[in-house]
Amino acid sequence: MDGLRFSRIPLMERPASASAADRALSHAATALRHTRSHLLRIGRVNDLAGPLPQAAALVRAAARAVRAAGEGVRTGGPVPRADPIETAITAFETVRATPFHPAPGTRPAPAPEPDAGTGRIGPYRTSDPAEAASAARLGLGSIALEAAEGARFLTLAVRISRRAPLPPDPTPPAARPGPFWYAHEPAVRLWWARFLANLTPRSVYFQNAVRTAAALAAARLLVGGLDLTHGFWVLLATLTLMRTTAADTGMALRPALTGTLCGAAATAVMLMLVGDRPLFYAVALPATMLTAFAVGPILGLAWAQGTFTVVVAMVFAQLAPASWKLAEARLVDVATGAAVGILTGLCAWPLGGARELRRRTAELLADSAAALHETVAVLTGAPARGGAVRRARRSAVLTEATYAQFRSEHHAVPPGAPDWQAALLTGQHTVRGAEQLLARIAPHSLVGWPGVADTLVRDADTAAAAFRREGAALLSGPRAPAPPDPLLGEARTALLDERVMAAHLPPDPAALHAVDTAVWLVGLVDDLAAVPAAKAPAEGEVSPPAPTPGRPAAHPDGAGPPRPPR
């Protein structure tokens, strides 16, 4: 999975274009991360839940789907089919209601416990091992279903990348366009959509375009004002040396000028020794050009600039008599272009993607908070504005582009720096999970269970507040490592209580939908907890032991018995 990070993929191999195939491959990477996170949670919950054959069969079907998708990504491999995993999901949803509920005769649910000013928002607690196991089975089934949905999404994304037909879009009309809206759109419309999505000052593509245009305009004015010979070299140097941050441009300046100076010296010696012999330059040019273009990418910017200086001198020596002053003009033009690039970078977005990533990630968490609140509101019948999932999806796309640029730049990591990749994955998992729930569960499905609906809405509000608080903390800048946000613990504990509550409900699909929603929110809260920097243990403080491989840590994902009332 780490190999799928944009920072570890060569620039020319990144699926970053607006084409349907590249969009699908990017979605496939997101689906893999989403599926992996749920599979890891299965391993942690399974000890308490015990054997669950239906979930095991579903996870095996998901494994087969992931393997088939992996083969389908390869050129010439068989295109994966979505029917097997969809059949497995349908069969699981059909049979999962009965075995997840306790046998008749179990004691009724405990009475709601007042908060008593403790700040707890989930009213149900239990210390009964049977109830805890039943709740764990409910959660395990929901997590297995989420993993299988991720495998299905991965299969569909790979089919799009191979230009294979898709089944009808299951997205409800109110939530459209769905995640695969681009599958059947022409290339012109996809590029236009990419253009509109980035037509905002908050887009790094927009910022880079403005920065480049301003630098080229300044270089052109400078060439005309100083009447520089071969002034297009100034524009070329500005383009090739300017980076997305002022610091990176300054780092590129030294090797560029060193290489140009050495190349200019070699060019001057060559012109003085060979003189005006165009035939020599014509014969030597192909080999020199081949060497320049082959050596530059391997040995670095200094070699690229030096060898290219020799190449352009050979070209101009064939067009007109040249002297050593041609090398001097080349050196002056490169230095001028580099200076223009540095000054432009200092004036326009000098930090590149760093500051914009902080702002964009905060907006992504805020949009994700609105998306999770809207999703729960749609399922429970609570009032909602609408359009939050679409906004979160667009915000995730812009944040991913900003993060890709950030990882291509040089940045010193300050103490307490957040995990930007974890924040991006939190937003992506929010959108992906919301799309799955809205496609699988009919709107207002939980209206018949007003107590369950009200509790889910309240817990979703708490989770959304934690999202917004973390986004505000990101905007405030670097910070010292801090203890976990108490809102995260409150939201997580309350959501896990919904499993216990659902274990006492009749075997109704709505009860399972409530568990699915609660499990999704628990996963988002866990994702959010990984965003801030971990708090380092104080002197003399012992860190909690790492879990033994194959064994869960203490109460992960609610696997252990819920805490007793305080």
Q: Average of pLDDT values for 517-535?
A: 79
Confidence bin at 67 (pLDDT 50/70/90): very high
Domains, the chain: 10-196 (no CATH), 204-347 (no CATH), 353-535+547-558 (1.20.58)
Q: Is the Cβ–Cβ distance between 318 and 216 less than 8 Å?
A: no
Helix axes 204-226 and 388-407, enclosed angle (nearest 10): 50
For 75, the token pair is: 């050129």
State in Å, rounded, how far the first CA of the chain is from the last one.
41
Query: 184-209: per-residue pLDDT in tens?
Result: 888 899 899 888 878 888 788 888 88
Question: Omega into 177 within 30° of 0, i.e. cis?
Answer: yes
Cα–Cα distance, 18 to 194 (Å, whole number): 6
Q: Is the Cβ–Cβ distance between 100 and 51 less than 8 Å?
A: no
**HSE (CB half, 13 Å, CA atoms) of 124?**
23
Q: Is the Cβ–Cβ distance between 379 and 436 less than 8 Å?
A: no
pLDDT value at residue 456: 84
Beta-carbon contacts of residue 103 (< 8 Å; ≥ 6 apart): none
Reported for 65-70, long-range contacts at CB under 8 A and 24+ positions apart, including other chains, are 65/148, 65/151, 65/152, 65/154, 65/155, 66/32, 66/35, 66/151, 66/154, 68/155, 69/28, 69/151, 69/154, 69/155, 69/157, 69/158
Cα–Cα distance, 353 to 404 (Å, whole number): 9
Q: Average of pLDDT values for 279-297?
A: 82
Q: Which of 433, 431, 527, 525 is nearest to 487 (CA)?
A: 525
Identify which has the larger pLDDT, 486 or 153.
153
Identify which has the larger pLDDT, 310 or 230.
310
pLDDT value at residue 160: 92
User: Angle at CA 149, nearest 5°, toward 143 and 155?
Assistant: 145
* Three-state DSSP class for residue 531: coil
Highest mean pLDDT among 351-355, 380-384, 459-463, 530-534: 459-463
pLDDT value at residue 130: 65
Identify which has the larger pLDDT, 299 or 126.
299
Element of type H or E holding 51: none
Q: Is the pLDDT of residue 102 over 90?
A: no
Query: 324-355: per-residue pLDDT in tens?
Result: 667 677 777 777 877 887 788 777 776 676 77
Q: Which segments of 127-186 does DSSP mark as H helices, in order?
A: 129-161
Q: Is the Cβ–Cβ distance between 121 and 494 less than 8 Å?
A: yes
User: Angle at CA 74, nearest 5°, toward 72 and 75?
Assistant: 105
- Mean confidence (pLDDT) of the chain: 75
Query: 106-146: per-residue pLDDT in tens?
Result: 333 333 333 333 323 233 344 556 666 666 777 788 888 88
Cα–Cα distance, 268 to 255 (Å, whole number): 20
Q: Is the pLDDT of residue 499 over 50?
A: no
pLDDT value at residue 536: 39
Indicate the range of 38-47, 85-94, 318-327, 468-477 predicted with least confidence: 318-327
Q: Average of pLDDT values for 282-298?
A: 82
Identify which has the larger pLDDT, 170 or 148.
148
Highest mean pLDDT among 109-123, 154-168, 232-246, 263-277: 154-168
Phi (first) and psi of residue 274, to 5 degrees: -85, -40
Q: What residue type is 416 in one-letter code?
A: G
pLDDT value at residue 34: 82
Beta-carbon contacts of residue 455 (< 8 Å; ≥ 6 apart): 122, 123, 494, 498, 501
Q: Which of 280, 283, 279, 305 is nearest to 292 (CA)?
A: 305
Indicate the range of 73-77, 237-241, 429-433 predicted with least confidence: 237-241
For 562, the token pair is: 């819920």
Q: Is the Cβ–Cβ distance between 274 and 280 less than 8 Å?
A: yes
